[in-house]
Amino acid sequence: MGKEGKGNYERVSAFLQHIAIIMDGNGRWAERQGLPRLEGHRKGIEVARIIVEEVGRLGIPFLTLYSFSTENWRRPLQEVQGLLALFEEAVSRYGEELKKNNVCVRFLGRREGLPEKLKKVMGELEKETARNTGLVLNLALNYGGRDEILRAVCRFGESGGDWSALTEETFRSFLDTGDQPDPDLLIRTGGEKRISNFLLWQIAYTELWFTDVLWPDFNVLLLHQALEDFAQRSRKFGGLS
């Protein structure tokens, strides 16, 4: 990376607060390698680990990874069970590394329906990293954007709030990311160009970056390319630049 590139990264990290990533293409990658689909997800976890480390190194405060959606339950039972087991293994395996790197881990989505052992290790990691002051890593697990909005509506109703006085700012505080800035940049791998029910409220003015590269082949260089592209964009938020 030359001096010009380095300057761009310094400029980007100064105002880019939150990156969100749809990590698509694990199963297709495995099939192209002649491997079971689960091996693609295993490789994808290793790539996620590298990207988490790089985002933290760049000093970007928030990163959200779409790990398992509310729609993913529709996949074959064997794949779903294998995925959930992989998540449990990854949380247990990389927990110490995340703690050591001062990462604060949060899980977005519904806990209901997840295996008890997985919920236990998730809760433990959140508790053990809660005081960390580095990168905030959101792992969206059993997450759906519409479901999140419905849960936020229910939370507001249970709080006894005045519906007639409800504002966007008040409502957003009941979302899973209520105390965080909205994503500045959304990256999606795998060639698809859709949002797939991810952070529907939060990405109203998020910049989108798509690549045909499957997630297991994603790397730090491609992350830098996305940041370079983001740095060239003019964000107007409905006004004038």
Helix (H) or strand (E) holding 65: strand 62-69
Spatial distance between the Cα atoms of 207 and 204, rounded to a whole number of angstroms: 9
**142 catalytic, yes or no?**
no
Active-site option among 8, 24, 142, 184: 24
Output the CA angle 23-203-136, nearest 5 degrees. 65
**176 catalytic, yes or no?**
no
Helices (H) and strands (E) in the chain, counts: 8, 6
Spatial distance between the Cα atoms of 232 and 235, rounded to a whole number of angstroms: 10
- Max CA pair span of the chain: 57
**What residues are paired with 138 via a beta bridge?**
64, 106
Q: In this structure, what token pair is assigned to residue 190?
A: 């795998």
Strands 136-143 and 185-188: unpaired
Cβ(79)–Cβ(38) below 8 Å: yes
Cβ(65)–Cβ(138) below 8 Å: yes
Give the catalytic positions in this structure.
24, 72
